[in-house]
Structure 1
């Protein structure tokens, strides 16, 4: 059995070479929560300072969970520990929760099982019809980089409807030819990001927007290198890269 300490924000320790730092014995006796991620891996929730100290003692460092965005075990570990940290009481009767032996399923006062929550979100490429340009946006609150249009699915929507709505709300454009591209778990927020491609004939906005984006911009392949883009490890980066290389 190997043990992976994880900070409350999902940060994980890595070696000097950038590889995941695992321990053969529990790395912190005062771990807040413990979950069995697989038959070979247990994740433990430890204060950030403790995880950073463990990494430093091994000659490594602490990194954000996006560095392991494609690692399914790390994503599962972060998501399960997030579930443990947020869920304390049965939402039906208010009774304190206990957890199954592996630390995954919560048990309510009447034996009710509560499974980890996953929130579906949509994200995708909007390409201008007849031109090789895609629409990128910069978020109004934390807009350090340009990324794809994204948002959460509303109750009663299917995924395609959610993407059409998000593009219209955030950019004022109408899209068609919505097609599935791929997906990625985003464990830090408990999301499952579902990616789509689409086409619009609206070069300019045809309706008011919700103000979530500080800026939108049509970008060609040659202009991508001139912009700060969504970081590696994210589905946005993977989709932009795939479009750039699709010549």
Structure 2
């Protein structure tokens, strides 16, 4: 499990945590496929960040291909939790604790739905309390005590050193931005990011990237808290593998 987050800063209505889950026996294969896509689209090392999606058609096309890869007939899985901050009472009282509560819920969900033992690598955030990752593991395993998987470890990693956390950042950033745009259509966002959002939505068979899919064991978007579920509606994922690439002229 490779996880990253987006939108936790002030001024946005939603934040999200997203993760890529890869069976250990095909992990090297997945790394190889992602590395091949990086070379295909001429992306420099350590530049797979949502914040870098601006005027680079290569990064947008890489993102299209990665989403197609995750949607293909393989054991790769993407799961995200999108949180609407306003009705989430814990967010108003303690943002840091609220964030890791969501991380615990997401990790529990993944282990249970996949009935698997997870080795989790999460982005290394600068927190007031530096043991949150250990607490996440303890509470998630408590939630799973009656079966349905377990959490073997939760390790904080610098995203610059872990390619698949960077990939999770790209997809999660796009989903977060899509939801924030739905909440605030006049939000200031770069045209390149709008284009990337449109392309991912099209790859899922959608007209926008602001729906939930819960539950879905291949590409899941989970709205939280309960008041946010199915806003504006729940959609089935309908993979579209013929979404065209963007060109320099599209920017």
TM-score bracket relative to the smaller structure: under 0.3
Q: Which TM-score applies when normalising by structure 2?
A: 0.23
TM-score, normalised via structure 1 length? 0.23
Task: Indicate the structure whose relative CO is greater, using CA pairs within 8 Å and at least 6 residues apart.
Answer: 2
Larger gyration radius, structure 1 or structure 2: 1
The structure carrying a bigger strand percent of its residues is 1
